[in-house]
Amino acid sequence: MRYDLSVVASWIEPGSKVLDLGCGSGDLLHILSVDKDVRGTGIEAEEGKVTRGIEKGLSIVHGDINEEVRDYPDGSFDYVILSQTLQQVFHPAILIREMLRVGRRGIVSFPNFAYYRIRGQLLFRGRAPVSRELPYEWYDTPNIRVITIRDFRRFCRKEGFAIARETAVSTPHHHEKGWVVKFLPNLLATYGMFMLRRRET
Please give the chain's pLDDT, 201 residues, in tens. Answer: 889 999 999 999 999 999 999 999 999 999 999 999 999 999 999 999 999 999 999 999 999 999 999 999 999 999 999 999 999 999 999 999 999 999 999 999 999 999 999 899 888 888 887 877 777 887 888 777 889 999 999 999 999 999 999 999 999 777 789 999 999 999 999 999 999 998 875
46 falls within a domain: yes
Judge whether 130 lies within some domain. no
Look at residue 133 and tell me if it is in a domain: no
CATH of the domain at 30: 3.40.50.150
Number of residues that make up the chain: 201
Spatial distance between the Cα atoms of 63 and 40, rounded to a whole number of angstroms: 16
Report if residue 26 sits inside a domain: yes
Give the C-alpha separation, 86 to 96, whole Å.
9
Beta strands in 7-139 (DSSP E): 17-21, 39-44, 59-62, 77-83, 103-111
For the whole model, what pTM was predicted?
0.92
In the DSSP assignment, the letter for residue 142 is S
Give me the number of domains the chain comprises.
Answer: 1
Ordered strands of the 17-21 beta sheet: 59-62, 39-44, 17-21, 77-83, 103-111, 191-198, 161-170, 179-180
124 in any annotated domain: no
92 occurs within a structural domain: yes
Q: Could you give the CA distance from residue 185 to residue 85 in angstroms, rounded to a whole number? A: 20
Residue 21's domain spans which residues? 3-113+144-198
CA distance 18 to 81: 8
Q: What is the DSSP letter of 140?
A: T
User: Is 188 inside any structural domain?
Assistant: yes
Does any domain span residue 39?
Answer: yes
> How many Å is the Cα radius of gyration of the chain?
16
User: Which amino acid type is present at position 66?
Assistant: N
